């Protein structure tokens, strides 16, 4: 089911596109129909540099199960990093 709920957040990082690495400053997350993934609905994440135009974008479409597992892995990696993650 499409929720049309869209979450946006400022981020700091880098992404790699067809022309190489670029800065990322924003992420948009939503659950909707995918463009490419073979599922009825996916959790979609767009990582972008809002100042660089459409070529500075990395798009991800994940099954709900994969998205939940990714969240678990991210939390686990950050917890294992301990205070080093808090400094970054």
DSSP string, 50-62: TTS-TTSEEEEEE
Flag whether 39 is in a domain.
yes
26 domain residue, yes or no: yes
Residue 55 belongs to a domain: yes
Please say whether the dihedral angle defined by the alpha carbons of residues 15, 45, 59 and 72, taken in this order, is positive or negative.
positive
Q: Is residue 76 part of a domain?
A: yes
Along the 88 residues of the chain, how does pLDDT read in single tens digits? 666 789 999 999 999 988 899 999 999 999 999 999 999 999 999 999 999 988 899 999 999 999 999 999 999 999 999 856 565 5
Give residue 41's domain range.
6-87
Domain total in the chain: 1
Domain membership of residue 62 (yes or no) is yes
In a domain, 1, yes or no: no
- Asked if the structure places residue 70 within a domain, the reply is yes
Helix ranges (H only) for the chain are 64-81, 83-87
Q: Report d(CA 60, CA 38) in Å as an integer.
A: 13
Q: Do 32 and 41 touch, CB atoms closer than 8 A?
A: yes
């Amino acid at each position: 089911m499409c929720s049309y709920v869209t979450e946006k957040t400022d981020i700091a990082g880098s992404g790699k596109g067809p022309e190489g690495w670029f800065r990322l400053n924003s992420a948009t997350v939503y659950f909707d129909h995918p463009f490419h993934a073979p599922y009825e609905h996916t959790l979609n994440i767009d990582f972008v540099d809002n100042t660089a135009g459409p070529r500075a974008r990395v798009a991800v479409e994940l099954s709900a199960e994969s998205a939940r597992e990714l969240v678990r892995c991210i939390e686990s990696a950050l917890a294992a990093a301990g205070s080093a993650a808090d400094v970054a």
